Amino acid sequence: MTNYEKIKLALDKTKLVAIRNKNGWTVFNYVSPNGDIRGSFWWSDIEDCYVSLGINHFSEKELNKIDIQEIKIIPIKPRVLKVGQKVNILDCSIIGDYEGWEDEHKELKSGEIESVCDNSGGVYYGIYNKDKSDWWFFPAYVITPIEIEEDATTQAIEMLKSKGFKIIKE
């Protein structure tokens, strides 16, 4: 069985497959319609691969030339993010420039989840813009939940302001 066949078979059974060679690790997450297998850039640690997941692509010919030292099936850990949850959006420059993305989309740093989409390309979250007049999909690897403590602090500050207290930030 070729490298391509092994990885494709593994992707049919799970959503993430990691391989290691002399360059380090890369993680694959889906097969493109043209047959290329999408994955990350090469990193020394599997955890670092998630930053570029799906950005790189490998043809069958390229994969079959790789001297694979190790293959790992990575179980998917379900995300606990839900519709209505407030989230931060990490640096979108790692996603690339998609046609139709507006400056507001590129500049969006936080928002509220409008929808969740889980497809062959991975999990994507629809995030509202500031006035909730529109929303865009972002890949899961650039979304992080806003911590509960941050929400609780904001709520406490708002409550104190509404009672007439002056808030001084250091």
The CATH classification of domain 86-147, taken from the options 1.10.238, 3.40.50, 2.30.30, 3.30.410? 2.30.30
CA-wise closest residue to 73 among 27, 2, 16, 3: 16
Q: What is the DSSP string of 77-94?
A: PPP---TT-EEEE--GGG
Q: Is the pLDDT of residue 169 over 90?
A: no
* All residues at 6 or more sequence positions from 2 whose CB lies less than 8 Å from its CB, including other chains: 60, 63, 64
- Regarding predicted confidence, which is higher, 21 or 133? 21
| Strand ranges (E), the chain | 16-21, 24-31, 37-39, 56-58, 70-74, 86-89, 110-119, 122-128, 135-139, 143-145
pLDDT digits (tens, 9 = 90+) for 96-122: 554 445 555 566 778 888 888 776 566
* All residues at 6 or more sequence positions from 70 whose CB lies less than 8 Å from its CB, including other chains: 19, 20
Instruction: Measure the CA–CA gap between 21 and 83, rounded to whole angstroms.
Output: 39
Q: What is the pTM of this model?
A: 0.51
Q: Is the pLDDT of residue 147 over 70?
A: no
How confident is the model over 140-147, as a mean pLDDT? 73
